[in-house]
Amino acid sequence: MRITKKLLTRLEGEVQLKLVWDEGKIKDAFVIVPHFRGFEKVLEGKPYLDALVITPRVCGICGHAHLIASAKAIEEVCRKAGIEFYLTEKAKTFREITLLLEILQNHVKWFYLYFFPDFFKYVGVKDEDYRPFVGKRWSEAIKASNLITKALATLAGQWPHNSYAVPGGITSDLFPAELVRASSLIKEFVKFLEERVFGISLRELLNCKTKRFLEHLRGDAKLFLEKALENGLDRAGRSYANFLTGGSVEPLIKPCVKKEKTCKFHPEWIEEKEDFSYFGKNGYTWSKAPRYRGLPYETGPLPRQYFARNPRVLYLYRNFKDSLITRVYARLEELAIFSLLVLEKVESLDLFQKSWIRPPVNTKELSGRGYGIVEAARGTLIHEVEIEKGVIKRYNIITPTAWNLGPRDEKFLGVAEKALIGLESEELAYLVLRGFDVCSVCTAH
Amino acid sequence: MKNLEKPFYEIVRELANLSDFVVALGNCAVYGNIPALKDEKIVELQFRFKEKEGLLGKDFRSKRGLPVVNISGCPAHPEWFINTLLELKHRGKVPLDELGRPKEFYAYFTHDGCIRVQYYEWKVEAEELGTKEGCLFYKFGCRGPLTHSSCNRILWNGVSSKTRSGQPCFGCTEFDFPRENLFETKLNMGIPAELPPEVSLRAYIMMAGVAKTFTPKRLKRKLIDEDNEEAPNET
Ligand code: SF4
């Protein structure tokens, strides 16, 4: 038996992959997150509004999702305490827009900067255009994702690490001209998607309801699908095919879980197992292992698009299950679907509504418990806060990457670990891991 | 960092001794910051909060003779970082403040260039969040006049900043970030408990008195009247 260890870089933080080989196949796999910062402990004892500034700092790539989760968790505490307040449509829609924008900038970076270089190496394509740092497409992708972060900053002040969502609404109060600027930035991004990623108009793509999309597609999505099929990625990377989406993306996606069939999602049924994290006795990673009714679940674009009944992703899923090809393509689809959705939402905004309505709450007296659940780039992000007399007593964060990249428990391997078993090449193992969009700083915060 | 062959800090120390310049990027590397709050073992490069120590020690100089160059901030501003690197490359030096930060970026305050600065001058407070009008220093905890940064001079993502979008400055370039009660100004008999550096209480009270007495009325009106969408022009 042979054991290999390798540090995976070009991602937010570092992840180490330990593989146990038997007769040329992976027999066991350990996804190891070696860093830990202790955000939940830092939050204890702080006035609860401080969470809005501290939790975004958990992650430099999905910090905005942490902000919205914090704001929602606090709002749920207020609601449960019987405090009546509401958000204007404008504030709600702004939050939805900025969350989606964060997903867009993430996916495009993930595809071109993190996934594609390894993918090209694995499938044996040499193309100067895609070469890290120097390739033309590489820098186009960075420029495209900058269009989105610029739009996000226009709405929310800066990206990353703003705190523009506060209980009761948002802090920014845009001029119509600023909104027009944001929307034209997003439209420019759509142009990049149409020219480079999909090679057809996004409307055309979304109108393909059958497998004919495979003939219509051009661009890098097509390149990916072709090469992936040629190289057997439709059989690599399958895991449990248990899907979980705890948040919603209005109006397309509602909270759901699926094992054999699809059911409603209840956050109270989540349990975090610690045995194989450094918090427990057999630890090898800083991540905990979240389980829903005792079982591991995958979260992220694939579950979301499955629940949204996206016909193209469903076609791949029916044929290739939860393999690497389906997982990666689902992520690409979100670029198309969410950019059109975000433009619709921008159109629907009424800027003359109020941004913020002060919740009638005495900040020194508020007590209670609440969940804030959002869909972030990598999947469902859950914040749970317990407040006592205005002070945070306990704060618990369950990140999407803890679901996907967390460790085993006494019965089940983690989702990514399971996806690696049986693979015959180390390169392929890294690629499968990349398919989950690895981020170590979230996995162990 | 657990489980790697060589401890991370050893790698950093070895590299630092080989380097022409050492640059710390972001508040964690600069001051320890959030991870260091509850963990003694967390090491930063040359300052622990504001005390000079850290992994490389207080007397550390890189091969070209500079202490660690600190680009503080959570997050650090990418443009300040890149420009510092370029300046080090082309000039071989850069003027630093007492916390090792390039003065070009940290001699300013967040307050400099904020579009609410007239409201600050005339002591017009923002009563609510989510408005274009009013200054956030008096109620909502803005640290703009006390925080060294160029956030409102070299904008974020090229377009905006926290205070421009109605958020108070949280002081994220300073060693004491995150302070407590970030959305609330601590007051002492109605006056902000912390005044901008080198502003005496006496000076502040005198200026505030004059400003409040003579506040131009236009600063009390909305910039855009919401009902008719026209800027008011009566005097
Ligand atoms: S909001 Fe803050 S930065 Fe802006 S003028 Fe007021 S005190 Fe200065």
Q: Is the pLDDT of residue A77 over 80?
A: yes
Q: Would you call B166 and A164 a contact, using CB atoms and an 8 Å cutoff?
A: yes
- Whether A255 shows a pLDDT value over 70: the answer reads yes
Q: Kindly give the distance from the C-alpha atom of residue B27 to the centroid of ligand 1, in angstroms, as a whole number.
A: 22
Q: pLDDT value at position B226?
A: 63
Question: Where is pLDDT greater, at A314 or A438?
Answer: A314
Q: How far apart are CA B45 and CA B27, in angstroms?
A: 10
* pLDDT one-digit tens code per residue, B137-160: 999 999 999 999 999 999 999 999
- B117 pocket-lining for ligand 1 (C-beta < 6 Å): yes
Mean pLDDT of A136-140: 95
Alpha-carbon separation of residue A200 from A100, A110, A194, A226 (angstroms): 22, 21, 5, 16
Q: Where are the beta strands (DSSP E) in chain B?
A: 23-25, 47-48, 51-52, 69-71, 187-188, 191-192
- Output DSSP code: residue A18: E
pLDDT for A6: 87
d(CA A322, CA A326): 6
Residue closest via CA to ligand 1's atom 7 equals: B137
Percent of chain B with pLDDT over 90: 79
CB-CB neighbours of B176 under 10 Å:
12
The tens digit of pLDDT for each residue in A231-240 reads 999 999 999 9
Q: What's the CA gap between A127 and A263, in Å, rounded?
A: 45
Nearest-Cα residue of chain A relative to residue B163:
A157
CA of B120 to the centre of ligand 1 (A): 6
CA–chain centroid gap for B117, Å, is 16
Instruction: Please state, in angstroms and rounded to a whole number, the distance separating the CA atoms of residues B32 and B41.
Output: 10
Nearest residue in chain A measured CA to CA from B227: A352
pLDDT score at A191: 98
**Assembly ipTM:** 0.94
Q: Is A180 an interface residue toward B (CB < 8 Å)?
A: no
Chain A hits for B182, Cβ within 8 Å: 49-50, 52-53
> Is the pLDDT score of A34 beyond 80?
yes
Both tokens of B60, joined, read: 């550390």
% of chain A beyond a pLDDT of 70? 100
Domains and CATH numbers, chain A: 2-443 (1.10.645.10)
Looking at chain A, how many residues does it have?
Answer: 445
SS3 B166: coil
B78 CB contacts (<8 Å, ≥6 apart)? none
Cα–Cα separations (whole angstroms), residue B59 to A14, B46, B55: 30, 9, 11
- Taking only the tens place, the pLDDT of each residue in A399-436 is 999 999 999 999 999 999 999 999 999 999 999 999 99
Rounded CA gap, A56 and A67, in Å? 5
What is the DSSP code string of A269-332?
GEEEE-TTBTTSTT--BS--EEEETTB--B-SHHHHHHHTT-HHHHHHHHHHTT-HHHHHHHHH
For chain B, helix (H) and strand (E) counts, in that order, are: 7, 6
**Residue for token digits 């004491």?**
B176
Looking at residue B229, its pLDDT comes to 54
What is the rounded average pLDDT for all residues in chain A? Answer: 96
pLDDT over threshold 70, residue A390: yes
pLDDT higher than 80, residue A243: yes
* Strand-pair category, B69-71 with B23-25: parallel
Are B167 and A150 a contacting pair at CB < 8 A? no
- Residue B224's pLDDT is 87
CA dihedral A49, A52, A53, A54 (to 10 degrees): 100
Average pLDDT over residues A182-206: 98
Q: Give tens-digit pLDDT for A83-104.
A: 988 999 999 999 999 999 999 9
Q: How far is CA B25 from CA A206, B69, B111, B128, B139, in A?
A: 42, 9, 22, 35, 31
- Residue A408 · residue A289 · CB < 8 Å: yes
B227 pLDDT more than 90: no
pLDDT at B233 over 70: no
Task: Say yes or no for a CB contact (<8 Å) between A356 and B130.
Answer: yes
Residue B1 pLDDT level (bands cut at 50, 70, 90) = very low
Structure-model confidence comparison of residues B50 and A115, the more confident one: A115
Token pair listed for A263: 């059911």
- Does residue B48's CB lie within 6 angstroms of at least one atom of ligand 1? no
Ligand 1 centroid–CA B191 distance in Å is 15
> What confidence tens digit (pLDDT) does each residue in A286-295 have?
999 999 999 9
Contacts of A295 (CB under 8 A, 6+ apart): A240, A242, A259, A412
Per the listing, tokens 């710390």 go with: B24
- Whether residue B12 lies within 8 A of chain A, CB to CB, comes out as no
Note whether B165 contacts A162, CB cutoff 8 Å.
Answer: yes
Residue A6: DSSP 8-state? E
Compute the mean pLDDT over every residue in chain B, rounded to the nearest whole number. 92
- Please tell me the distance in Å from A440's CA to the nearest CA on chain B: 12
Asked if the C-beta of A158 comes within 8 angstroms of chain B's C-beta atoms, the answer is yes
Within 13 Å, how many C-alpha atoms sit on residue B67's CB side? Answer: 21
Are A34 and B2 a contacting pair at CB < 8 A? yes
* Residue B163 CA to ligand 1 centre (angstroms): 7
Distance CA A111, CA A332 (A): 8
Cβ-Cβ contacts under 8 Å for B198 (sequence gap 6 or more): none
Instruction: Measure A425 CA to ligand 1 centroid, in angstroms.
Output: 57
Sketch out chain B's domains with CATH numbers. 9-104 (3.40.50.700), 108-218 (4.10.480.10)
Burial of residue B106, with CB atoms counted within 10 A of its CB: 0-12 exposed, 13-18 middle, 19 or more buried: buried
Q: Chain B residue closest to A36 (CA)? A: B1
Cα B35 to Cα A12, A170, A445, distances in angstroms:
16, 28, 10
Q: Average pLDDT of A220-246?
A: 97
pLDDT in tens, B185-224: 999 999 999 999 999 999 999 999 999 999 999 999 999 8
